[in-house]
Structure 1
Amino acid sequence: MTTVMLDNGAYTAKVGYISEMNPKIIPNCVIKAKTVRNRIFIGNQIDECKDLSGLYFLLAFQKGYLTNWEIEKQVWDHMFGKNELAVNFEESGFIVTESYLNFKSIQESIDEIFFEEYQVPFLFRCNPSYLIQYKQQRKKKNLFCCLVVDSGYSYTHVVPYHNGRAVKMAMRRISIGGKILTNHLKEVISYRQLMVMDETHVINQLKEDTCFVSQDFYADMNLAKQKGPSNKIALDYVLPDYAHIKRGHIKEPDTEINSSEQIIRVCNERFSIPELLFHPSDIGIHEMGIPEAIAYVIGLCPEELQPFLYLNIILTGGNSCLPGFRERVFKDLRTLAPDHFEINVRLDDSPIQASWQGGCLLGNSPDFTNHIVTKDQFDEHGVGICQEMFNY
């Protein structure tokens, strides 16, 4: 028997056998291109598209939940097919991640697809934070408390753990993630410079290449107002033309301007867009920022656990890859936490793959069989046995 680990994120799916070092990272969507009318691109087939301008994304997830099963099945069939993993379902069990605070109907659909359509011999389903904290437990012995901050595509979740179990009454969600950052950056650039509302793929790359988290917002804003060389914030970003430039890139300073290049100048957008993670109210989302949410969640936990939770805060998810993210969370949290509490905020060594790696560790552990539901158990008890076993 082999085990396949599927971290089924809203933006990308990370999939691979638990014996492998790294997963395949595949966009969790079906893509149509304006320039290619005769086919669709599933997941990483987008690499075969020569012109990435004006892409139309068909997403399996809406607002953080798996709702479009037709799209998801196409992506899964592609991932598990002979051109990718070439999974033999009769001999391969699965570890699958699901959305946080997931609906029971979605959970039942996942279980039914794997057991009834794919006919897998066993399944384990949980949300990503469980596998992230399991990875931390394996790395750091006697870690009985930790707080997972998972800032992903649709939402940011703050989940405290005690002895391997989530403190569910304290778990909280912030309605801001990478999708909102990219969409807001598209709006700002379209208003100030160039219409890019249809260029989600390109602007998402621009965000990843140029944005950072400010440690002193007002000081950086004053610096961004400067003229000439004293402005260390402003950058020129060369957009791809898909003839000579396949991917956008930052233009090197003091290089000659090529008249054929299309350039977007980014200045205060570089840090004002990620600032939404800390002040969602800037765009009318009346919720706490990430540091406030961390302090609030820890305050909801039993008093004897609070100092240990402050000592073990783990940051994961795509947004945590932004430069300066960890330092800013620590800085803001230090002003909110009680003075006598020591704070330790750690960025996972692989923020995007953290839950996949945790799943591989769990799948290779001696007690893994205590977590799974087998096909025979599912056939006998139905989806009820999954609801009972996967209550993490």
Structure 2
Amino acid sequence: MVTLATKTLVLDNGAYNIKAGYAGRAESLLCARNCSIRGKVGGVLYADQVDSTSDLSGVTPRLPFERGYVVNWQLQRDIWNRLFSPDVLNCIPDETTLLLTQPCFNLPVIAQSCDEVVFEEFGFASYHRSTAPVLAQYCLSTPKPPECVVVVDTGYSFTHIFPICNGRPVWKAVRRIDVGGKLITNHLKEIISFRQWNMMDETFLINTVKESCCYISTKFQEDQEACSTPNNDIVQDYVLPDIGLGIKGHVRQRNDGSQPRLDEQVLVMNNERFTVTETLFNPSDIGIEQAGIPEAIVQAVGACDPNLQGLFYNNIIVIGGNARIAGFKSRLDIELRALIPVEYDLSVVIPERPDVASWQGGVHWAEQFPEEFGQKCVTKAEYAEHGINICNKRFR
């Protein structure tokens, strides 16, 4: 068995947010933007410094990820340097084991670059690289993950349907949908810019609007018809932030009796609230000829052993930032129930914090199954002796 360092740092390296913290120390969890921006008073800000900035209007973030993969390792190193610094996580790499997530279907050259950065530039004592869905199977409160589970990871760049049997991915059954949080935000920017205010340079603001106002409709046609009537219950006003007056952006209910200020700027959110998120269930609405999430789940389970398909439908876990959108579980339950055989039980679970479920799963795995975790890690000494080959073999 590999002898690990006393501290284990779990780092879910998402394309939009990084979730990082130490196993055994739940309070150490840090969620930070995986990007950099140029501050308006000079200098470059990384990760947690971005969220501490009061004025993000007109700011264009630089991301190390493009279409779900790391393409700028210099920027990713700078972001990690900030997170590992004494001011943030206070990580001493040569005394720490790193558990790191990588994208599904990660390219070999990117995975190799990752291994080199971890060992040769940061010098971690030991290290394991996994995918977010594989770690997420451990996020439930049960001592061991289910024998058969489908993890639906709907994140920033893609949505993956990930069947796992006895802890191992069923790779032939994995499905990908080219719809994620980034596409939804960009789609909302275009609609708002066409109908109301020019918001094409306001990525951070529109992402906040999306998280505050949008939902997934369980009766799309009825909601669409309701939006065409005046004074309907769906329309909301989003008051734009005013940095000069110290006013943050917020939703203002139309029936709360409050009087709008004459100088405030307001986004009127009507059918945009649910039409932009509909792309998760019907990508063809915006020209992406792919199945929506319910159909993709059926396709993925259908590619698995027929004798196990009932077990897969009974253990569906949804993770990722898009799972926080109101109405997600209800819509998925309704559409899946209509698609799967009536004799199968259906159970869809969304963790309390689906955006950090992979981090929680990684912590649970490292804490509750230390021997199994240790066997999957590569130490610095092993890497020095065998190079990349040992990583490819042990992380496969």
TM-score band, normalised by shorter chain: over 0.9
CA positional deviation for 1:160? 0.3
Kindly state the Cα deviation for residue 82 of structure 1 after the two structures are TM-superposed: 1.3
1:4 aligned residue? 9
Over 3 Å counting, the alpha-carbon distance change for 1:321 and 1:226 in structure 2 is same
Matched, 1:328 2:334: no
Partner in structure 2 of residue 32 of structure 1: 38
- Distance change >3 Å, CA 165–CA 81, structure 1 → 2: same
**Range moving further from structure 2, 161-170 or 20-29:** 20-29
**Which amino acid is the alignment partner of residue 394 of structure 2?**
M
Relative to the length of structure 2, the TM-score reads: 0.95
Q: Which runs of 4+ in 1 moved over 6 A?
A: none
Task: Tell me whether 269-278 or 339-348 shows the greater mean CA deviation.
Answer: 339-348
Q: Deviations over 1:218-250 (max 9, x none)?
A: 01111111112xx00000100001122453101
CA distance in 2, matches of 1:144, 1:20: 28
**Correspondence 1:72-151 to 2 at 5 A:** 72-136=76-140, 139=142, 141=144, 143-151=146-154
Q: Secondary structure at the match of 1:173?
A: strand
Residue of structure 1 in register with 2:300 after alignment = 297
Letter in 1 for 2:34: N
Task: State the partner residue of 2:241.
Answer: 240
Q: Counterpart of 2:3?
A: none
- Assess if the C-alpha contact under 8 Å between 1:52 and 1:242 holds in 2: no
Alpha-carbon contact 1:134-1:164 (below 8 Å) kept = no
Structure-2 residue corresponding to 1:186: 189
Contact (CA 8 Å) 1:156, 1:176: kept in 2 or not?
A: yes
Which one is further off, 349-358 or 242-251?
A: 242-251
Aligned pair partner of 1:310 in 313, 329, 336: 313
Of 20, 33, 41, the residue aligned with 2:45 is 41
Structure 1 residue runs without a partner (length 5+): none
| DSSP-derived class of the 2:137 partner | helix
Shift of 1:152: 0.1
**How well do the aligned residues superpose, as a CA RMSD in angstroms?**
1.3
Deviation at 1:58, TM superposition (A): 0.5
Q: Match for residue 74 of structure 2?
A: 70
Equivalent runs, 1:136-215 vs 2, <5 Å: 136=140, 139=142, 141=144, 143-215=146-218
Letter in 2 for 1:143: P
Q: Summarize deviations over 1:340-359 as a string: whole Å, max 9, x none.
A: 21111111222011110111
**How far is the alpha carbon of 1:366 from its aligned partner?**
2.9
Report the 3-state secondary structure (helix = DSSP H, G, I; strand = E; otherwise coil) of the residue aligned with 1:352: helix
Cα distance, 1:141–1:82 mapped onto 2, change above 3 Å: closer
Give 1:363 shift. Answer: 1.6
User: Which letter does structure 2 place at the counterpart of 1:252?
Assistant: Q
Shift of 1:140: 5.7
- CA–CA distance in structure 2, aligned partners of residues 47 and 308 of structure 1: 41
* Cα distance in structure 2, aligned partners of 1:18 and 1:346: 24
Which residue of structure 2 aligns with residue 250 of structure 1? Answer: 251
Q: CA deviation at 1:89?
A: 1.4
1:75-128 Cα deviation digits (max 9, x unpaired): 000000111011111211100000110001111111111111111110010000
Task: State the aligned residue count.
Answer: 386
Look up the equivalent residue of 1:57 and give its one-letter code.
Answer: P
The code of the aligned residue for 2:184 comes to: L
1:18 to 1:221, Cα distance in 2 relative to 1, 3 A: same
Give the distance between the partners of 1:299 and 1:244, measured in 2 at CA: 56
Q: Does the alignment pair 1:355 with 2:361?
A: no
Structure-2 separation of matches of 1:233 and 1:252: 10
CA 1:349–1:297 in structure 2 vs 1: closer, same or farther (change >3 Å)? same
TM-score by length of 1: 0.96
Post-superposition offset of 1:48:
4.0
Give the distance between the partners of 1:243 and 1:389, measured in 2 at CA.
55
3-state SS, counterpart of residue 182 of structure 1 = helix
Q: Could you tell me which amino acid in structure 1 is paired with residue 171 of structure 2?
A: K
Structure 2 spans left out of the alignment, 5+ residues: 1-5
Question: What's the CA shift string for 1:244-299, capped at 9, x where partnerless?
Answer: 24531011323111012110000000010110100111111111100000001000
User: 8 Å contact 2:126–2:378 — kept in the other structure?
Assistant: yes
Q: In the alignment, does 2:58 pair up with 1:57?
A: no
